[in-house]
Amino acid sequence: MEQNQNKNNEVLAAITLALHEYQGYTMHVSESGVLTLGNADTEWNSKLRTQRQQPEHKF
């Protein structure tokens, strides 16, 4: 009987927390939604790591 009561308490706690978050009472950090893209040299685009000769651009 006591195990059944414990499960009921856990279910009630989960429902309460879900409703609490649904209503917006959580303290989340609000993000601006803006992505900043830049040309940063990394190992992925490093000129020193390329295995072939780069073509010349003639404009």
Q: What local confidence, expressed as pLDDT, does residue 27 receive?
A: 64
Each residue's pLDDT expressed in tens, for the chain with a length of 59 residues: 677 888 899 999 999 999 888 887 666 667 777 777 777 777 776 666 666 777 788 87
Q: How far apart are CA 40 and CA 46, in angstroms?
A: 10
Q: Per-domain residue ranges for the chain?
A: 1-45
Q: How far apart are CA 10 and CA 4, in angstroms?
A: 10
Q: How far apart are CA 37 and CA 12, in angstroms?
A: 45
Q: What local confidence, expressed as pLDDT, does residue 42 receive?
A: 74
With tokens 């295995």, the residue in question is 51
Q: What local confidence, expressed as pLDDT, does residue 33 receive?
A: 76
